[in-house]
Amino acid sequence: MATATYRVSTTRDGVESMNTTEINNQLRPDLQKVVETIVGLRQLAASTGFLTFREQKEILERLSSEDKSLVGRELVRREKETK
């Protein structure tokens, strides 16, 4: 199992946030590929209306809970970037 270490920093208002560059550095190449695939499937769904939930679920089912957590954080970060 992969173990992940990351630093949490506290902002002035007391909210904890992770340094996103540290998350990127922690993603193994296989997890980066998973993130890219899921982002692509989401873009396909948005542009064509083709439902890709089953494909996304099948990809994520193969991962350990720690890997799912890392992938989820990266997906949230990317989603915030696009807004």
| Domain interval for residue 69 | 28-82
61 located within any domain: yes
22 located within any domain: no
pLDDT at 32: 96
> Three-class SS of residue 17?
strand
9 located within any domain: no
Reported as type and span, the H/E element at residue 67 is helix 65-82
pTM, rounded to two decimals: 0.67
42 located within any domain: yes
The tally of domains found in the chain comes to 1
Q: Cα(26)–Cα(55) distance, rounded to whole angstroms?
A: 25
Per-residue pLDDT tens for 30-61? Answer: 999 999 999 999 999 999 999 999 999 999 99
